Amino acid sequence: MTDILRVGVVGCGLMGAGIAEICARAGLDVIVHERDADSAEAGLSRITASLNRAVRRGTLQGCERDEALAALRVTTDLQDLADRDAVIEAATEDERVKTGLFADLDRIVLRHDAILASNTSSLPIMTLGTATTRPQQVIGVHFFNPVPVLELVELVPSLLTSSETLSRAEHFAASVLGKRVIRSQDRAGFVVNALLVPYLLSAIRMLESGHASAKDIDTGMVLGCAHPMGPLSLADLIGLDTLTAIAGAMYEEYKDPRHTAPPLLLRMVGAGLLGRKTGRGFHEYTVHL
């Protein structure tokens, strides 16, 4: 039995929508916050479309979809999260945005032992925790895209996160949401991105140097190393803006040249070529909500 029954999710982009969806599918009372009405409407449409795809694939019954949608609502007022047992922040990968949100949540969320979690890919949990008066309740709960499909969650406590918060968050992720949990120290990149990001950046440098085409780089890793997806396709899935932000955070912490974003990546982000979500990155795509 979990003591987390009411969940708030801040942000309803690809990650936030996926997190809200799996929480609703687990039978929890879910409120999702977005910054304005248009973003809130788009986020709800994104969740609905994902649930409908699950019904078409046969992994979800129509009645289960309807129950999930009934358990979920969107809001543009952060104050609506005041009664939540846990809030998961899934805003843009920007330190100032995230620390501001954690300061606001600290003021708004009433339950004294509520878990304040971040889905950050790379930012220090300590930084987010110390933006609040309750850093012992702040923890990284890092999901992977697409959230309803990928099983992994990285749990990242800071030096100030309490053992009780870590235990509750692990039970929530594993027993309530059905995820496989691994733990990481509060280091930039955690486990997965610390290994993955240098690999992705190396593939971009290979393309940039003219060593091989994007198609051949991806085909080489899929057929030569049995990877399910090539590195450039994976970068497009993650989002080139998100990849750039993660690389920047890792470089700030480690000062390792392998973490510097290649000029090609920076130019693509500057041009708005962000991958799947914009229809064009290293490959071209049909955009879905």
Spatial separation of the C-alpha atoms in residues 67 and 130, rounded to whole Å? 37
Domain's final residue, options 150, 183, 216: 183
**Is 154 designated active site?**
yes
Taking CA 132 as the corner, what is the angle to CA 130 and CA 134, rounded to the nearest 5 degrees?
A: 95
Give me the catalytic one of 118, 154, 170, 184.
154
pLDDT at residue 1, as a whole number? 56
Within-domain flag for 1: no
- In sequence order, what are the beta bridge partners of 266? none
**Beta pairing partners, 118:** 89, 140
Residues 204 and 69 in one domain: no
Q: What is the pLDDT of residue 286?
A: 87
Q: Which CATH number characterizes residue 40's domain? A: 3.40.50.720
Question: Does residue 228 belong to any structural domain of this protein?
Answer: yes
Task: Confirm whether 289 is domain-assigned.
Answer: no
Catalytic residue among 21, 122, 142, 259: 142
Per-residue pLDDT tens, the chain, 289 aa: give them: 579 999 999 999 999 999 999 999 999 999 999 999 999 999 999 999 999 999 999 999 999 999 999 999 999 999 999 999 999 999 988 899 999 999 999 999 999 999 999 999 889 999 999 999 999 999 999 999 899 999 999 999 999 999 999 999 999 999 999 999 999 999 999 999 999 999 999 999 999 999 999 999 999 999 999 999 999 999 999 999 999 999 999 999 999 999 999 999 999 999 999 999 999 999 999 876 5
Asked, for residue 219, whether it belongs to a domain, the answer is yes
169 with 206, same domain: the answer is: no
Do 107 and 247 share a domain, yes or no? no
Specify the pLDDT at position 132.
98
Is residue 283, in this structure, part of any structural domain at all? Answer: no
How far is the C-alpha of 237 from the C-alpha of 240, rounded, in Å?
A: 8
- Write the CATH number for 250: 1.10.1040.10
Q: Which of 50, 122, 158, 193 is catalytic?
A: 193
Residue 209 lies in a domain: yes
Q: Please check whether residues 151 and 231 belong to one and the same domain.
A: no
* Same structural domain, 199 and 237: yes
Residues 179, 208, single domain; the answer is no
Structural domain harbouring 109: 6-183
Confidence (pLDDT) at 122 = 84
193 counts as catalytic: yes
Q: Are residues 156 and 246 in the same domain?
A: no
Catalytic residue among 50, 118, 119, 121: 121
Asked whether residue 177 falls in the same domain as residue 198, the answer is no
Residue 135 domain-assigned (yes or no): yes
* Domain match, 168 and 52 both: yes
Q: Which residues contact 145 (CB under 8 A, 6 or more apart)?
A: 14, 15, 18, 237, 238
Out of 159, 183, 207, a domain closes at 183
Could you give the number of structural domains in the chain?
2
pLDDT score recorded for residue 279? 95
Contact 140, 190 (CB under 8 A): yes
Where a domain ends, among 141, 158, 183?
183
Question: In Å, how far are 118, 178, 216 from 141, measured between CA atoms?
Answer: 6, 14, 35
